[in-house]
Amino acid sequence: MEELAVPTDILKGAKVLIVEDEPFIALDISYSVEQAGGVPLGPATTVAEALKILKTEWPDGAIVDVDLPDGTIEPVLNALCPAVPVVVHTGVGLPDIMRQAHPNLEVFNKPTSPDFLVLRLGLTDRSRG
The pTM (predicted TM-score) of the whole model is 0.91
Which residues fall within 8 angstroms of residue 30, CB to CB, at 6 or more apart? 18, 40, 42, 43
Tell me the three state secondary structure of residue 53: helix
Q: Say what the pLDDT of residue 81 is.
A: 93
Q: Say what the pLDDT of residue 127 is.
A: 41
> Which of 41, 45, 22 has the alpha carbon at shortest distance from 33?
41
Burial (0-12, 13-18, 19+ Cβ within 10 Å), 59: buried
Please report the domains of the chain, with CATH numbers, ordered by start residue: 15-123 (3.40.50.2300)
Q: Say what the pLDDT of residue 1 is.
A: 46
Q: Say what the pLDDT of residue 123 is.
A: 75
Average pLDDT for runs of 10 along the chain of length 129:
69 96 96 96 98 97 97 96 94 91 93 94 58
